[in-house]
Amino acid sequence: FFEYPEPQKGDINYDGINYPGVKMSYDLTRDEIIFVTPTTNLNIKLISQKVNWFYLQDHLFINIREDSNTIHLREAGFYELAYQGFYDVLLKRKKRLEQSSREDNVSKFVQYTNYYARNGDIYYTIDSKRSLLAICKDKKKEVATYMKKEKLDFKKDPGNVIIKTIDYYTQLKN
């Protein structure tokens, strides 16, 4: 699950209706929301297509449905909206069970994060410093200088570097 193994309080928009302060979990392996009923503590898997967005642990997740504009995304589903500006920064978090080939090693869940920038209905994959600079092509020199000055290392902390760089690019565009 996202962040904590037990359900957390959050807000959700389900089938166009806002439900504040409900207990839920976000299953990163199945990309599903598990709602916990308040009186009986039953776990109910929500229909993902009816979830428009949810807010959990100070993170806003939006449901991006598959259409012709999402061809650069690996899959439809829930994406964290980490930054809003000239480009929105989206994170797709997934967990997979990594099986150990040795009997004495325990299998474990490993989390992966893919990064995207969105401008209107167009999505760009960001998987390197080069791809980040490519979407800032009209201000590439200024952005590269900023990244060097701020000592932003894409390999060490890609999420933070992307957000800071896109924020700087947004300021340049305004």
pLDDT of residue 67: 66
pLDDT the model gives residue 74: 65
* Position 75, amino acid: E
Kindly report, residue by residue over 83-99, the tens digit of the pLDDT: 998 899 999 988 777 77
Question: CA triplet 157, 54, 113: central angle to 5 degrees?
Answer: 25
Sign of CA dihedral 26, 30, 33, 39: negative
The per-residue pLDDT of the chain, averaged, comes to: 87
Q: Does the pLDDT at position 69 exceed 90?
A: no
Confidence of residue 110 (pLDDT cuts 50, 70, 90): confident
Higher pLDDT, 7 or 52: 52
Q: What is the mean pLDDT of residues 28-53?
A: 89
Phi, psi of 63 (to 5 degrees): -95, 115
pLDDT at 104 (0 to 100): 66
